[in-house]
């Protein structure tokens, strides 16, 4: 019978374990579910015959917290958790978050800032020479020198600041087993220098001879142009088939060496990862605290794929999972679905079937599994690659089979749907099925912006593609007799976005009767093209200057323009319009965004012809939309009806 991994000496004793092979230290609470990286890595090691215990969220102020399982025979694995600890802790405005989905009861502050570094230093206090392998999203995206938004400086490779021996970057299922086998064979950790998907440090210059020598840390710290060039060299070497070894020098004597990425998992290997018998729950020790919030959404969700060829510049997936799609077989996913339907808490709803991009189930073209992805060409941006193979048949079949399972009432698709990929499919079956069976009232999509200037920096398609998708979505819903809406995700202050671009977005929202409830300011996280633009004010793709909004007040204006109807944003919106010379948008006319003045007790965000008064958030939507930002499927008809009502009132 499967059990949770040992979290105490008592657990070890009950399992007859005198000394563990490995101890895994994690910044998240312990959840034994395949949506949590720690669970996958620990279970993979266990599957290969290694005993593993886990220390979740140790007290970093207490040296003894790292010793509760004793000294491991072979070494420590360390991860900050499913998120970078700084993203977990801070909003884009650098305010401390008050809730942590990955901690008991959502309690914050149970892990330190820069958790990977702190945990490794904690281990080193007691175990001076014991091997330490770091991994997870934090270590993966900080594996070479990187701009750190929270300290506003360029930091060294996390391998040096942590004192760890090796980084297992990317998803890590293969590399951690290879590392474990090397250590078990008696090999010194300093000699493990050849495994794909790893980064090591050395003073031996011989290891640098067959690699690309990047600018030194001192050079990229001193010159933003050099930083941008170095980053783009790294970006061009993220594909497992074409990437070269990369070498970064520190103080002229220390070398941080990145081996090429691990090859993508085969479908059988993906199936094997998810066929492991996980407990599929958080550890019982958290019951008294109310459990772990993060399990709620994933407990009845199914991971279909990993990797993404979408190529959004603000996304770190290229650096972590890569651009080649790896997917599970239909049989594997259906077997897992049958398993979750047996859970006493299952109410008939599968919450999601997807991954980074729900409707990517296959590599974008046939050559990728032999030759890798193109180094200097994207599959979807700026336009569709001629070699792109668009096919939703496999995904449609999978969703159909899941719908027919006993006890399943509805199967939702809540992972992001790449709308441009949908538009390139000549067969509308997927979109029709999506509307008919797999959403409930609204579909979330991510155009991010409407200005083609900004979209080019985001790595997103021309706005005409999104508009065409909106029209097709509305048409299909009308054919099905459904009133369903689109909820667009929008981003403010992305590099390249000027005040004029933000105003253009506000006008688009006005014209399409949208009132976004949520807006995301651009967040400069490690190892993305967009973050490099933010720091250097240079586009690393062509080395041309790019405008970057860094002033907090201007950022507030850009954000306020997206929610221009909200009374509390009036002053910022008016200031922005005046500054941009767009006073034509201040007034009572049909095209105006705000009135020329505020009168106490009056909200002038209500336009002539609106049927109902706006609510307190300034959105003008029906009760049926539940306050969500929506796009009605028949905007023109609604507008016409409203105009007719206005004319009738005037006649009276």
Query: Tell me: the pLDDT tens digits for 225-238?
Result: 999 999 999 999 99
CATH number for the domain running over 441-652 = 3.30.750.200
SS3 313: coil
pLDDT recorded at residue 518: 82
111 CA to centre of own chain: 20
Question: Is 50 exceeded by the pLDDT of residue 623?
Answer: no
For residue 251, pLDDT over 50 is answered with yes
Q: 0.85 exceeded by the pTM?
A: yes
Rounded mean pLDDT, 182-188:
98
99 — pLDDT class (breaks 50, 70, 90): very high
Tokens of 531: 């973050």
Residue 626 buriedness (CB in 10 A; 0-12 / 13-18 / 19+): exposed
Residues 118, 121, 126: CA angle, nearest 5 degrees:
135
Kindly report, residue by residue over 3-42, the tens digit of the pLDDT: 999 999 999 999 999 999 999 999 999 999 999 999 999 9
From the list 473, 474, 472, 502, the residue with the least C-alpha distance to 490 is 502
How many residues in total does the chain contain? 652
Q: Where in the chain is the domain with CATH 3.30.750.210?
A: 300-439
Higher pLDDT, 167 or 612: 167
Determine the distance from the C-alpha atom of residue 258 to the mean position of all C-alpha atoms in its chain, rounded to a whole number: 23
Average pLDDT over residues 378-403: 96
| Per-residue confidence (pLDDT) for residue 622, from 0 to 100 | 35
Six token digits for residue 25: 């230290």
Q: Using CA atoms, how far apart are residues 577 and 166, in angstroms rounded to an integer? A: 52
Residue 632 is predicted with a pLDDT of: 37
pLDDT at 612 > cutoff 90: no
pLDDT of residue 369: 80
Residue 641, pLDDT > 50, answer: no
The CA distance from 643 to 608, in Å, is 9
Helices (H) and strands (E) in the chain, counts: 24, 24
Closest CA to 115 of 100, 126, 129, 128: 100
Distance CA 38, CA 27 (A): 10
DSSP letter for each residue of 359-383:
T--S-SSTTHHHH-S-SS--SSSSS
Range(s) within the chain of domains with CATH label 3.30.750.200? 441-652
Does residue 447 carry a pLDDT above 70? Answer: yes
Spell out the residues 6+ positions from residue 477 whose beta carbon is closer than 8 angstroms to its own.
435, 483, 484, 633
Q: What is the per-residue pLDDT across 521-531, written as a single tens digit (0 to 9) for each?
A: 999 999 999 99
- Across residues 403-430, what is the average pLDDT? 96
- Residue 621, pLDDT > 80, answer no
How much is the pLDDT for 598? 59
Q: Mean pLDDT across the stretch 563-588?
A: 96
In order of 203, 247, 263, the CA distances from 209 in angstroms are: 13, 9, 23
**Residue 382, preceding bond cis, omega within 30 degrees?**
yes
Is pLDDT of 212 > 90?
A: yes
- Residue 615 in this model has a pLDDT that exceeds 70: no
- Better-scored residue on pLDDT, 630 or 223: 223
Amino acid 366: pLDDT: 86
Non-local CB neighbours of 514 within 8 Å, separated by 6+ positions? 488, 508, 629, 630, 631
3-state secondary structure labels for all residues of 577-634: HHHCCCHHHECCCCCCCECCCCCCCCCCCCCCCCCCCCCCCCCCCCHHHCCCCCCCCC
pLDDT tens-digit readout, 271-320? 999 999 999 999 999 999 999 999 998 999 999 999 999 989 999 999 99
CA 512, CA 508: separation in Å to the nearest integer?
Answer: 6
Q: What is the CATH number of domain 9-196?
A: 3.40.50.280
Is the per-residue pLDDT at 619 higher than 50?
Answer: no
| Fold classification of 300-439 (topology level) | Transcription Regulator spoIIAA (3.30.750)
pLDDT band at 647 (very low <50, low <70, confident <90, very high): very low
| Summary mean pLDDT of the chain | 92
Q: Which two tokens stand for residue 173?
A: 């299922």
Q: Where in the chain is the domain with CATH 3.40.50.280?
A: 9-196
Give the pLDDT confidence of 535-574 residue by residue, as tens digits: 999 999 999 999 999 999 999 999 999 999 999 999 999 9
């Amino acid at each position: 019978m499967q059990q949770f991994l040992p979290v105490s000496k008592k657990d070890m004793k009950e399992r007859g374990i005198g000394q563990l092979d490995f101890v895994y230290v994690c910044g998240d609470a312990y959840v034994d579910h395949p949506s949590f990286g720690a669970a996958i890595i620990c279970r993979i090691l266990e599957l290969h015959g290694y005993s593993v215990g886990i220390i979740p969220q140790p007290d970093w102020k207490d040296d003894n917290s790292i010793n509760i399982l004793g000294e491991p025979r072979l070494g420590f694995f360390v991860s900050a958790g499913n998120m970078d600890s700084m993203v977990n802790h801070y909003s884009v405005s650098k305010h401390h978050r008050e809730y942590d989905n990955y901690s008991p009861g959502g309690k914050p502050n149970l892990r330190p800032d820069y958790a990977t570094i702190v945990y490794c230093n904690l281990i080193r206090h007691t175990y001076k020479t014991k091997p330490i392998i770091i991994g997870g999203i934090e270590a993966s995206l900080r594996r070479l020198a990187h701009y750190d938004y929270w300290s506003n400086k360029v930091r060294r490779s996390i391998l040096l600041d942590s004192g760890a021996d090796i980084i297992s970057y990317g998803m890590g299922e293969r590399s951690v087993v290879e590392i474990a086998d090397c250590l078990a064979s008696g090999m010194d950790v300093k000699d493990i220098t050849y495994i794909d998907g790893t980064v090591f440090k050395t003073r031996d210059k011989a290891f640098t001879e067959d690699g690309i020598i990047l600018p030194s840390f001192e050079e990229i710290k001193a010159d933003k142009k050099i930083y941008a060039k170095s980053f783009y060299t790294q970006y061009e070497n993220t594909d497992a088939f074409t990437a070269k070894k990369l070498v970064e020098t520190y103080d002229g004597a220390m070398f941080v060496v990145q081996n090429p990425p691990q090859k993508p998992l085969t479908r059988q290997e993906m199936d094997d990862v998810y066929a492991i018998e996980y407990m599929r729950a958080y550890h019982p020790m958290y019951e008294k605290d109310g459990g772990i919030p993060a399990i709620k959404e994933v407990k009845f969700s199914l991971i279909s794929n990993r990797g993404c060829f979408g190529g959004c510049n603000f996304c770190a997936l290229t650096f972590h999972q890569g651009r080649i799609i790896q997917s599970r077989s239909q049989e594997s996913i259906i077997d897992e679905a049958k398993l979750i339907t047996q859970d006493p808490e299952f109410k008939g709803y599968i919450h999601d079937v997807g991954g980074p991009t729900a409707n990517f189930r296959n590599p974008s073209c046939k050559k990728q599994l032999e030759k890798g992805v193109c180094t200097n060409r994207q599959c979807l941006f700026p336009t569709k690659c001629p070699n792109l193979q668009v096919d939703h048949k496999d995904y449609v079949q999978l969703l159909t089979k899941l719908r027919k399972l006993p006890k399943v009432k509805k199967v939702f698709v809540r992972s992001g749907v790449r709308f441009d990929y949908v538009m390139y499919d000549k067969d509308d079956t997927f979109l029709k099925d999506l509307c008919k069976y797999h959403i409930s009232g609204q579909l979330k999509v991510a155009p991010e912006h409407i200005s083609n200037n900004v979209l080019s920096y985001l790595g997103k398609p021309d706005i005409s593609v999104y508009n065409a998708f909106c029209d097709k979505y509305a048409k299909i819903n009308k054919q099905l007799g459904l009133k369903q809406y689109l909820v667009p995700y929008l981003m403010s202050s992305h590099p390249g976005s000027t005040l004029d671009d933000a105003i253009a977005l506000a006008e688009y929202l006005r014209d399409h009767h949208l009132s976004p409830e949520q807006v995301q300011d651009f967040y400069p996280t490690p190892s993305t093209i967009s973050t490099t633009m933010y720091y250097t004010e240079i586009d690393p793709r062509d080395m041309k200057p790019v405008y970057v909004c860094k002033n907090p007040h201007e950022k507030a204006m850009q954000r306020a323009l997206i929610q221009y109807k909200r009374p509390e944003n009036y002053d910022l919106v008016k200031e922005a319009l005046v500054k941009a010379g767009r006073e034509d948008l201040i007034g009572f006319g049909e095209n105006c965004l705000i009135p020329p003045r505020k009168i106490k007790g009056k909200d002038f965000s209500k336009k002539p012809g609106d049927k109902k008064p706006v609510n307190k958030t300034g959105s003008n939507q029906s009760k049926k939309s539940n306050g969500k930002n929506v796009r009605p499927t028949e905007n023109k008809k609604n507008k016409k009806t409203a105009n007719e009502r206005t004319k009738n009132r005037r006649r009276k």
